[in-house]
Structure 1
Amino acid sequence: MKRGFLVAIGAAVTLLAGTRARAQGVGEACAASYEQAQQLVRDRALLRARAELRLCASSCPAALARDCQRWSKGVERDMPSVALSATSAEGRAPGRVRVLLDGAPLVEAIPKDPIEVDPGRHTLTFEDAAGTSVVAVVTVSPGDKALPIAVRFPAAPPPGAAAPVRPRWPLVLASAGAVALGVGAFLGVKGHIDRSELRGRCAPGCTASEVEAISLVWKAGAISAGAGLVAAGVGTVLYFQLDPVVPAAPSAGSAVLPDGAALSLRGSF
């Protein structure tokens, strides 16, 4: 009998301790969501604030829960939304369009209903299935509802408009080599002329400095001619061996924003 009584007391103590621990845990969640929600509202991070306010309303005592419910009404009133749309250059539906908000994925396809976003300045990137992108920068104010953001994708370049071209830098290298060859030939001819003039003027009693000056001209000519020959040869070979490239054809799409129209460059990925 005594043993059974002690077991019952122990079970009751354990149950009370568990209940207290659970209550303490709920209190911590309430305090964290109550404080965090207020800070998020001040920071205009309304999407996250709404989630914290819902947690606060469900986990806090009645007095605090009423505060969270009151703040939730203000958040719902100020929560802005944008209505996205996109068309092709011909005015048709461009198919599946992915949208990024400030570099992070927002939707994989444009929905019919408006999308809620936090207030502030945002960069919206629209990408079609071909990898073409149009960028719209817009400022969303608290309370904006279904703010229209419409973009038009640029037209694709006509067939054959961008013909493959060979890289130009090998030609630059070959041209520089040709110039160096010309300089080397000039210095070589100058050295011969200077040597003939020196022989007629002072041979065999010319000074060592006069002879050395002509030698330096010949050396410089030989170095220039050698380097030019290598550069010209390498540039010529690379020009014909490198694969031609197709230059990107720049075009622009348009983004019609609430405060006017803006242009954005087309990009392919």
Structure 2
Amino acid sequence: MQRGLLVAVGAAVVLLVGSRARAQGVGETCAGAYEQAQQLVRDRALLRARAELRLCASSCPETLARDCKSWSEVVERDMPSVALSATSADGRAPGRVRVLLDGAPLVDALPSAPVEVDPGRHTLTFEDAAGTRVVAVVTLSPGDKALPIAVRFPAAPPPPPPPLPRAADAAAPARKRWPLVLVGAGAVALGVGAFLGVKGHVDRGELRSRCAPGCSAGEVEAIDVAWTAGAISAGVGFVAAGVGALLYFQLEPVVPAAPAPGSALLPDGAALSLRGAF
């Protein structure tokens, strides 16, 4: 009997302590939200103040909750909002655009409805899918509703011009032209030698069929001269073509000479700069 009484008393103490702890916890939540909301309203941090006022209205007694509800109406009245829009350089929609508020993400895509923002001076950064950014600085007063903030993205920069040919690159074709001429002349000489050799063989065959072995010395000598001239022409052509090809593939690019001393006017005309090698 005595043991059962002690158990009952212990259970009652536990319940009482738990109830007081819960009551004390609710009281601290209410007091914190009540005080914090007032400070945030004074600091014009209306977004955070609204969250604290909602917590106050749900956790405080009716007397304090009534104050929080009244302050909430003022916060909703003074809460500014902005209507965000953007266009590309040609006036079209720029696609997906995200917006940063004072360096922190605000929206990942342009919304159709206005976005609420605390009053004060803010920097809005619009960024398209290509990473191009446009910055707008605005000052919002309490009560500004759906203030239009429209930006236009600049046109993409033109591609850089192709690099100008270097002096060595420009001079290389001229330096390699005469070896090609030498190769061409050698090819012509080879052709002449081949023609004279073939002609000598044809003429010798004709003499054999017409007058051999009693052909005149002049006719035989003419064939020997053609063969000799053909051999010389072919030899000269072979050497010329070989030398030209060798020079063509072994020529080094010309190294541009150092510029002579001189002066140049800067693009803005502000000063003169001397250039040269001494």
Q: What is the TM-score normalised by the length of structure 2? A: 0.58
Is 2:145 the partner of 1:145?
yes
Structure 1: which amino acid aligns with 2:90? E
Structure 2: which amino acid aligns with 1:77? R
Q: Which residue in 2 is equivalent to 1:97?
A: 97
User: Aligned partners of 2:163, 2:102: CA distance in 1, in Å?
Assistant: 36
Go from structure 1 to structure 2 and tell me whether the alpha carbon gap of 1:30 and 1:165 turns closer, same or farther (over 3 Å shift). farther
User: Aligned partners of 2:58, 2:163: CA distance in 1, in Å?
Assistant: 66
Identical pairs, percent: 82
Structure 2: which amino acid aligns with 1:121? R
Which of residues 160, 163, 168 is equivalent to 2:161?
163
User: Aligned partners of 2:91, 2:60: CA distance in 1, in Å?
Assistant: 53
Q: Map 1:120-139; keep pairs closer than 5 Å.
A: 120-139=120-139
Cα displacement (A) at 1:148:
0.4
Go from structure 1 to structure 2 and tell me whether the alpha carbon gap of 1:61 and 1:164 turns closer, same or farther (over 3 Å shift). farther
Cα displacement (A) at 1:106:
0.5
Is 2:36 the partner of 1:23?
no
Cα displacement (A) at 1:163:
3.1
Go from structure 1 to structure 2 and tell me whether the alpha carbon gap of 1:164 and 1:74 turns closer, same or farther (over 3 Å shift). farther
Go from structure 1 to structure 2 and tell me whether the alpha carbon gap of 1:139 and 1:165 turns closer, same or farther (over 3 Å shift). farther
Q: Any idea what the Cα deviations from partners look like across 1:199-247, whole Å, max 9, x if unmatched?
A: xxxxxxxxxxxxxxxxxxxxxxxxxxxxxxxxxxxxx9xxxxxxxxxxx
Cα displacement (A) at 1:132:
0.3
Please state whether the residue corresponding to 1:124 is helix, strand or coil.
Answer: strand
Cα displacement (A) at 1:94:
0.3
Please state whether the residue corresponding to 1:112 is helix, strand or coil.
Answer: coil
Please state whether the residue corresponding to 1:90 is helix, strand or coil.
Answer: coil
Structure 1: which amino acid aligns with 2:151? V
User: Aligned partners of 1:148, 1:105: CA distance in 2, in Å?
Assistant: 19
Q: Which residue in 1 is equivalent to 2:34?
A: 34
Structure 2: which amino acid aligns with 1:112? S
User: Aligned partners of 1:66, 1:79: CA distance in 2, in Å?
Assistant: 20
Q: Which residue in 2 is equivalent to 1:12?
A: 12
Go from structure 1 to structure 2 and tell me whether the alpha carbon gap of 1:122 and 1:164 turns closer, same or farther (over 3 Å shift). farther
Structure 1 unaligned segments of length 5 or more: list them. Answer: 167-235, 237-269
Q: What is the TM-score normalised by the length of structure 1? A: 0.59
User: Aligned partners of 1:155, 1:85: CA distance in 2, in Å?
Assistant: 17
Q: Map 1:72-111; keep pairs closer than 5 Å.
A: 72-111=72-111
- Size of the aligned set, in residue pairs, is 165
User: Aligned partners of 1:105, 1:153: CA distance in 2, in Å?
Assistant: 19
Please state whether the residue corresponding to 2:136 is helix, strand or coil.
Answer: strand
Please state whether the residue corresponding to 1:118 is helix, strand or coil.
Answer: coil
Q: Any idea what the Cα deviations from partners look like across 1:30-82, whole Å, max 9, x if unmatched?
A: 11111110000000000000000001111111111100010000000001100
Structure 2 unaligned segments of length 5 or more: list them. Answer: 165-254, 256-278
Q: Which residue in 2 is equivalent to 1:245?
A: none
Q: Map 1:219-238; keep pairs closer than 5 Å.
A: none
Please state whether the residue corresponding to 1:17 is helix, strand or coil.
Answer: helix
CA RMSD of aligned residues (A): 1.5
Moved over 6 A (4+): none
Cα displacement (A) at 1:136:
0.2
User: Aligned partners of 1:84, 1:16: CA distance in 2, in Å?
Assistant: 55
Please state whether the residue corresponding to 1:100 is helix, strand or coil.
Answer: strand
User: Aligned partners of 1:32, 1:67: CA distance in 2, in Å?
Assistant: 14
Please state whether the residue corresponding to 1:144 is helix, strand or coil.
Answer: coil
Q: Which residue in 2 is equivalent to 1:2?
A: 2
User: Aligned partners of 1:137, 1:164: CA distance in 2, in Å?
Assistant: 38
Cα displacement (A) at 1:12:
1.0
Go from structure 1 to structure 2 and tell me whether the alpha carbon gap of 1:26 and 1:93 turns closer, same or farther (over 3 Å shift). same
Cα displacement (A) at 1:111:
0.7
